[in-house]
C-alpha cells in the first residue's frame, strides 16, 4: 500500500553496451555468438481474448488497455526465477488466502493483489509497508492488527488477509467497483477521489493515474492469467517442484513466553522453523502485557524431512 512496489518485480531498463571511440564515430564492436549450443527465442506472449478482474470485464477492445495488459504479461513471462518462486509459494499459501477472502465476502481475485504487493513473501518496502499485504503500521492498527516490537500481525497470513478484506469492502462501498477498490489499495482513498473529481470519471480503465497505479491492476491481472495458464506462458513445473501447504497443530498462547527458542524446543522444533510457520513473531520472547490471545502454528513432525 505504498509507492515503488513495482520496483521489486521489474528491473530498471538497462541500455545495451556500445563501444565507441568518440562521440561522433563508432569504434570496433565486439560480437558474441553465444557459444555452441546457445539458443534463445524471444516472443511477445499472448493475452487472452477476454479477461475479467473480480468479475468486472477488462475492456480489451481498447488499444491502451491491450498494451498495458501485454506489458505486464511480457514482463512477468520473462521474469523466470521470480515467477517460479511465486508459483511454489502459490501452491503453499494460495488456497488458504483465497478461502479467507471468500469467507470475508470479497472476490478471490483480490489474492492477486497480494501477489503484486509482496510476492506472497514477508517483505518490507522502502516506505516501511510490511507483510504479505504491505500495510503501513498505522493502517494495520486501524484495521485491528497488532504491531509492536514483539508481534507484527502484518506477517500473519490469516489476520492480515482479513484486514485487507475489510479494507477492500470499505473501498468497494466508496467507489462502487472492485477494480477501483484495488487501485485505492495502491494509491489511497483520497488520491482516487481527487482523480475521479478532476477527470469526472469512475472507471479505472478510463482514468489517468500515476504510472505505478496505472500499472497496478494490470500487474495483478497478469499474475492471475499466468498462474492459471502456466504452460501457455512456458512454465512447466512438476508436482514435486511445488511447495506443499504447511501442516501444523495450533497452540494457544494467552500469557508470556520467556524464550521462543525454548518454546520451539519443547514442541520438537527450533526457532528457525517456528518462524517459518509464524512470521508474526518478531522477537525471541513475548511479554504479552495486554494478555492477548495468540495462536501459534507448531509444525508437525517431518516438515524438515520433506514428508
pLDDT digits (tens, 9 = 90+) for 241-250: 999 999 999 9
Mean pLDDT to the nearest integer, 166-177:
98
What pLDDT sits at residue 190? 97
Phi, psi for 297 (deg, rounded to 5): -90, 115
pLDDT-derived band at 41, boundaries 50, 70, 90: confident
Note the residue count of the chain.
Answer: 307
Q: What percent of the chain has pLDDT over 90?
A: 84
Count Cβ atoms below 10 Å from residue 300 Cβ, excluding itself.
Answer: 14
What pLDDT sits at residue 23? 42
* pLDDT for residue 145 is more than 90: yes
Q: What's the whole-model pTM score?
A: 0.87
Alpha helix ranges (H) inside 176-289: 178-187, 189-199, 211-227, 260-266, 271-277
Task: Tell whether the torsion through CA atoms of 190, 183, 216 and 142 is positive or negative.
Answer: positive
Which carries the bigger pLDDT value, residue 268 or residue 303?
Answer: 268
What number does CATH give the domain 52-241? 1.10.530.10
The C-alpha cell of 237 is what? 513445473
Choice among 13-22, 193-202, 270-279 with the minimum mean pLDDT: 13-22
Mean pLDDT to the nearest integer, 134-160:
98
What pLDDT sits at residue 179? 98
Which carries the bigger pLDDT value, residue 303 or residue 94?
Answer: 94
* pLDDT for residue 14 is more than 50: no
* pLDDT for residue 3 is more than 60: no
* pLDDT for residue 280 is more than 70: yes
pLDDT-derived band at 32, boundaries 50, 70, 90: low
The secondary structure of residue 48, as a DSSP letter, is -
What pLDDT sits at residue 8? 44
* pLDDT for residue 139 is more than 60: yes
What pLDDT sits at residue 220? 98
Task: Decide: helix, strand or coil at residue 253.
Answer: strand
The region that residue 256 occupies, defined by phi over 0 for left and psi between -120 and 50 for alpha, beta otherwise, is beta
Choice among 31-40, 61-70, 103-112, 201-210 with the minimum mean pLDDT: 31-40
The C-alpha cell of 236 is what? 512447466
The secondary structure of residue 14, as a DSSP letter, is -
Average pLDDT for the chain? 90
What pLDDT sits at residue 18? 34
Q: Structural domain boundaries of the chain?
A: 52-241, 248-305
Query: Tell me: the pLDDT tens digits for 51-65?
Result: 999 999 999 999 999
CA 303 to chain centre: 25
Task: Decide: helix, strand or coil at residue 152.
Answer: strand
pLDDT-derived band at 37, boundaries 50, 70, 90: low
What pLDDT sits at residue 200? 98
Amino acid at each position: 500500500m505504498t509507492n515503488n512496489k513495482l520496483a521489486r518485480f521489474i528491473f530498471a531498463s538497462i541500455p545495451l553496451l556500445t563501444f565507441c571511440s568518440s562521440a561522433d564515430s563508432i569504434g570496433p564492436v565486439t560480437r558474441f555468438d553465444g557459444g555452441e549450443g546457445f539458443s534463445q527465442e524471444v516472443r511477445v506472449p499472448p493475452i487472452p481474448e477476454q479477461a475479467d478482474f473480480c468479475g468486472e470485464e477488462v475492456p480489451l477492445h481498447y488499444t491502451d488497455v491491450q498494451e498495458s495488459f501485454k506489458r505486464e504479461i511480457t514482463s512477468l513471462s520473462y521474469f523466470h526465477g521470480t515467477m517460479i518462486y511465486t508459483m511454489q509459494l502459490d501452491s503453499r499459501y494460495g488456497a488458504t488466502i483465497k478461502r479467507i477472502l471468500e469467507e470475508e465476502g470479497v472476490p478471490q481475485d483480490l489474492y492477486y493483489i497480494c501477489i503484486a504487493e509482496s510476492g506472497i513473501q514477508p517483505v518490507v518496502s522502502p516506505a516501511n509497508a510490511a507483510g504479505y499485504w504491505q500495510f503501513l503500521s498505522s493502517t494495520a492498527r486501524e484495521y485491528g492488527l497488532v504491531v509492536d516490537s514483539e508481534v507484527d500481525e502484518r506477517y500473519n497470513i490469516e489476520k492480515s488477509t482479513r484486514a485487507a478484506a475489510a479494507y477492500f469492502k470499505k473501498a468497494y462501498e466508496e467507489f462502487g467497483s472492485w477494480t477501483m477498490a484495488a487501485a485505492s489499495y495502491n494509491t489511497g482513498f483520497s488520491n482516487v477521489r481527487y482523480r475521479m473529481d478532476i477527470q469526472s470519471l469512475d472507471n479505472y480503465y478510463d482514468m489517468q493515474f500515476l504510472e505505478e497505479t496505472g500499472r497496478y491492476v494490470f500487474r495483478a491481472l497478469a499474475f492471475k492469467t499466468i498462474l492459471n495458464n502456466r504452460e501457455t506462458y512456458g512454465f512447466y513445473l512438476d508436482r514435486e517442484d511445488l511447495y506443499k501447504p504447511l501442516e501444523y497443530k495450533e497452540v494457544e498462547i494467552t500469557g508470556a513466553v520467556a524464550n521462543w527458542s525454548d518454546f520451539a524446543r519443547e514442541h520438537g522444533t527450533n526457532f528457525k522453523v517456528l518462524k517459518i510457520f509464524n512470521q508474526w513473531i518478531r522477537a525471541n520472547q513475548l511479554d504479552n502485557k495486554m494478555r492477548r490471545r495468540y495462536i501459534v502454528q507448531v509444525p508437525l513432525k517431518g516438515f524438515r524431512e520433506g514428508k
